[in-house]
Amino acid sequence: MSSMNPPPPMFRHQSSIPKLPVPSLQSTAEKYLQTVRPLVSPDTYSRTESIVNDFVSSPQAAELQSRLEARRESEGTKNWLIEWWNDVAYMGYRDPVVVYVSYFFVHVDDKVRKNQPAKRAASLVKAMLPFRDLVESGRLEPEKVRGVPLCMESYKWLFHASRYPVKPADTAFKFDPKTNNHIIVIRRNRFYVVPLADAPGRELSAAKLEVQFERIIAHAEKLPLGLALGALSSDNRDLWADARSVLIDASPAHNATMLRKIESAMVVLALDETKPVTREDISWNTWAGDGRNRWYDKHQLIVYDNGRSGFLGEHSCMDGTPTLRMNEYMLATVALGKANLGPERTLTTGQDLPHPEELVFEVNEKVKELVKGAEQRFDELVGKHDLHVLHYEGYGKDYMRKYKLSPDAWVQMVKQLAFHKMFGRPGVTYESAQTRKYQLGRTEVIRSASNESKAWAEAMLATDRDPIYLKELFRKAVARHVQYSAWAADGQGVDRHWFGLKKCLKQGEPLPEIYNDESFAKSCHWELSTSQLSSPYFDGWGYGEVVPDGYGLSYSIGDDYVRWTITSLKRRTEELKHYLAEAATEVKHMMEQAEKAEKKVEVKL
C-alpha cells in the first residue's frame, strides 16, 4: 500500500530521471583525439591517433564496451559510474581530505553582527534549520537546469552525516535527525554539544543559541588549550583510521560515545579565535585553519572572532551545488531579514537552559603522541602551499554578455591565455561539469584546452595582431568550449568513459595500449583544476591542486567582477595571479579594438 504513495515533492521527478549514458566508442575517440592534439607534438599525436584507432576497432574494446553497457542496464544499477568513482576519487583516496579534497566558501561580511561571533554564529545556525527541515521532510523544491530536473539524492548527506576513516576505503553514515538534534561547537580545540531544542522540544531561538555560544567561549577561555583531537581528522586516511582505533581503545565505551556525538551532529561549528581581514587570510583559515580547531570529516560552519564566517565542505558524498544552495538560503534569509530568528534577546534569555556539555575524551600517552604527529604532518603539508586571491574588477558577466558570449567560456579562455603567457603552451585543464540530470550523477570533465583555444592564445601573443581576426578566433574558442560543456553535462565527455572501460577489465586481461600512451597521461594530468560557483553571498571559495605541479583555480563570475582563488605547492602562484589579471584586461581590449575596427569597415562600405 505504501508503495502507492506519491514521493515527497523533492523527489517527484526522480522516477523520470534517466540513467547515466555510456557514450559510443567512436564519439569518445574522436573527442579524445581533438583534446590531445593541442597538447602534444605532431609526431606524438600521429602515434596516439594510430593507437586510438587500433583500440576502437579491436575486439577487446568491443568487449569492454559491451560489459560497460551491460553494467548500465543491469537491474538495481542506477548509475554505472558512481560506485567506482566514489571509491577512486573519494572513499579509497588516502591522502588527507584537508587541502586535497575539502572545498571552502567565504561568506560575505555581515555588517549587522560585526565583531559579534556568538551572534553571527547563532543567526547562521538558526537560519540553517528551516533548510534542514525542507531537506529531511522531502519538501525542498527539486532543482532544475533549463527546465531539466536534477537528481536530489545527494542531499541526504547534507546534515547529520559523517565520513569515517576505514581501510582500505572510507565509509559514510547518515544519522537520524530526530534523535540527534544537536550541533557540535569547537572552541580552543575543545568540543561542546549544543542541543537545537529545549527539554520540551521547542526549537531554540537565535538569541538562546547566542547565549549558549557565549557560554562556550567563556568556558574555553578559562581552560588551557585543549588537546587537538580534531587534528587526527586532518591526517592521511590510513593513519587516521589507526588513530581512531587507538582513541577508542583508550576508553572504549566512553570515547566511542564522544565520537558518536560529534559524528551524528547536524553540523560542526568552529568558533575560531582569529580575526582574518584580507581575502587571503580568511580563505586560508576557512580552507585549512590551523589544523586543530576543526573536524574535517563533517561539513563545518566557521565563525571568526570579528564576526566573519565561512563553510568547509566535506566532499566525499556530495559536490558543491547542494552545499552552495544551502549556504545561499542561510545567508540570504539572514541578510534580507527573512530568517525567523525568534524573540529578541532579554536579560533572562537562556537562563532556563543547561550550560553546553563539553565532550571530554579519556586519552593516554599514545593518543597524545598520535595527535602531535598529525599536527606536525598538517603543518608540513599546509606550509608547502600558498594561496592567492585575484578579485578582478575590470568587468564581469554584464560586460561579457554584451557580446552574447558565455561568461564561463570567456573566463576559461582568460585562463588559457594566462597559462600561455606564463609557460608558452596550453594548460591541461579540468573544468567540473555536473551530471545531476542523471540518477546519482556527480561530475564529468570539461577539457578546456582545445585546438581553438591554442590558436587564439598564440595569435594573442603574436606581435602583429588584427583585432577582428583575434575576435573571430576567440569566438571559435568560446563556441568550442560551450559545445564540450554541453557534451560533459550530457554524460558524453571523454574521461569517465575511458575510466569505465578500464574498470571493466578482468583480472589477468592485458591493459590496452591507449592507457600506457604518453598522450593519455599528459592529457589527464590536470595542471589547472578549475570549477565555477558564483553567488552574491560569497566573497570567495576554493580548494587545492590535484597534481603536484598544478594549480587549484576556483572562480566566481559576478555582474562586474571575476574572482579567482589560486592554490599550489608554491609554484609561482602570485605570478599566475598577475597573468590572469593581465589576460583578462587584454581580452577586453581585444574585443573593444575589434569593435572599433568593425565600425571603420562598415563606414568604408
Q: How confident is the model at residue 497 (pLDDT cuts 50, 70, 90)?
A: very high
* Contact assessment for residue 449 and residue 457, using Cβ atoms and an 8 Å cutoff: no
Strand partners, 386: 568
Residue 21 class from Cβ within 10 Å (0-12 exposed, 13-18 middle, 19+ buried)? middle
Q: Both 394 and 351 in a single domain?
A: no
* Residue whose entry in the numeric block shows the C-alpha cell 606524438: 44
Q: pTM of the predicted model, to two decimals?
A: 0.96
Q: What is the pLDDT of residues 11-63, one digit of tens each?
A: 999 999 999 999 999 999 999 999 999 999 999 999 999 999 999 999 999 99
The amino acid occupying position 208 is K
Confirm if 191 and 262 have CB atoms less than 8 A apart.
yes
Cell readout for 470 is: 583575434
Could you give the residue numbers annotated as active site? Answer: 315
- Is it the case that residue 602 has pLDDT exceeding 80? no
Judge whether residue 3 has pLDDT over 70: no
Q: Enumerate residues 6+ apart whose C-beta is below 8 A from 192.
A: 184, 185, 186, 216, 219, 356, 357, 358, 359
Same domain, 270 and 414: no
Pairing mode, if any, of strands 386-392 and 171-174? unpaired
| CATH number of the domain to which 215 belongs | 3.30.559.70
Domain identity same for 493 and 377? no
In this prediction, what percent of the chain has a pLDDT beyond 70?
Answer: 99
Question: Residue 270 pLDDT more than 90?
Answer: yes
Q: Which of 338, 366, 383 is the last residue of a domain?
A: 383
**CA-to-CA distance for 192 and 92, rounded, in angstroms?**
31
d(CA 575, CA 159): 39
Using omega within 30 degrees of 0 as the cis cutoff, is the peptide bond preceding 21 cis?
no
Q: Which positions ≥6 away from 600 have C-beta within 8 Å?
A: none
Residues 471 and 530 in one domain: yes
**DSSP 8-state class, residue 89:** I
Count of domains forming the chain: 2
Q: Is 586 within 8 Å of 418 (Cβ atoms)?
A: no
Q: Which helix (H) or strand (E) holds 42?
A: helix 42-56
**Same-domain check for residues 291 and 423:** no
Same domain, 359 and 405: no
Does residue 91 fall inside a structural domain? no
Measure the CA–CA gap between 591 and 292, rounded to whole angstroms. 49
Reading the block at residue 225, the C-alpha cell is 588549550
The reply to whether 397 and 264 lie within a common domain is: no
Residue 81 within a domain = no
**Which amino acid is present at 370?**
L
Q: How confident is the model at residue 601 (pLDDT cuts 50, 70, 90)?
A: confident
Q: What is the CATH number of the domain that holds 479?
A: 3.30.559.10
**For residue range 545-582, what is the model confidence (pLDDT) as tens digits?**
999 999 999 999 999 999 999 999 999 999 999 999 99
Task: Please answer whether residues 263 and 298 qualify as being in contact, where contact means their C-beta atoms are separated by less than 8 angstroms.
Answer: yes
Q: What is the pLDDT of residues 172-227, one digit of tens each?
A: 999 999 999 999 999 999 999 999 999 999 999 999 999 999 999 999 999 999 99
For residue 67, give Cα distances in angstroms to 71, 495, 502: 6, 17, 11
Please check whether residue 451 lies inside any domain of the structure: yes
Q: Which domain holds residue 157?
A: 100-383
Q: Maximum distance among all alpha carbons in the chain?
A: 87
Q: Single out the residue in 383, 405, 430 at which a domain terminates.
A: 383
Which pLDDT does position 64 carry in this prediction? Answer: 98
Residue 488 has pLDDT above 60, yes or no: yes
Kindly state the cell numbers that stand for 427: 594548460
Q: Is 346 exposed, middle or buried (CB count within 10 Å of its CB: 0-12, 13-18, 19+)? A: exposed
Any idea which residue has 540553517 for its cell?
Answer: 128
Q: Which of 334, 368, 383 is the last residue of a domain?
A: 383
- How far apart CA 598 and CA 605 sit, in angstroms, is 11
Rounded CA-CA distance 520/517 in Å is 5
User: Are 471 and 599 part of one and the same domain?
Assistant: yes
Whether 114 and 247 map to the same domain: the answer is yes
Same domain? For 310 and 377 the reply is yes
Same domain, 503 and 514: yes
Is residue 462 one of the residues assigned to a domain? Answer: yes
**In angstroms, rounded to a whole number, what is the distance separating the alpha carbons of residues 392 and 394?**
6
Q: Are 566 and 389 in contact (CB under 8 A)?
A: yes
All three cell numbers of 288:
585549512
User: Beta-strand (E) ranges in 354-397?
Assistant: 357-359, 386-392
**Read out DSSP for 489-506?**
HTT--SHHHHHHHHHTPP
- Give the separation between CA 208 and CA 196, rounded to whole angstroms: 10
- Give the residues across from 387 on adjacent strands: 567
Any idea of the CA torsion for 266, 267, 273, 278, to the nearest 10 degrees? -140
**Among 384, 413, 378, 411, CA closest to 395:** 411
- The answer to whether residue 266 sits within a structural domain is yes
The arithmetic mean of pLDDT across residues 287-303, rounded, is 97
DSSP, collapsed to helix, strand or coil, labels residue 585 as: helix
By C-alpha distance, which of 296, 327, 276 is closest to 556?
327
Q: Given a cut of 70, is residue 605 above it in pLDDT?
A: no
Establish if 5 belongs to a structural domain: no
Provide the CB-side half-sphere exposure for 467 (13 A, CA). Answer: 16
Return the pLDDT at 356: 97
Q: Residue 51 contacts by C-beta under 8 Å, 6 or more apart in sequence?
A: 513, 514, 517
pLDDT tens profile 430-468? 999 999 999 999 999 999 999 999 999 999 999 888 999
Distances (CA, A) of 245 to 252, 300, 487: 9, 23, 45
pLDDT band at residue 1 using 50, 70 and 90 as cut-offs: very low
Q: How far apart are CA 205 and CA 202, in angstroms?
A: 9
According to DSSP, the β-strands at 443-447 and 429-434 are: antiparallel
Residue 450 shares a structural domain with residue 562:
yes
Task: Give domain status of residue 69, yes or no.
Answer: no
pLDDT at position 2 is 46
**436 domain-assigned:** yes
541 — phi, psi (to 5°)?
-165, 165
Q: Comparing C-alpha atoms, which of 309, 324, 253, 279 is closest to residue 103?
A: 324
3-class DSSP string for 48-88: HHHHHHHHHCCHHHHHHHHHHHHHHHCCCCCCCCHHHHHHH
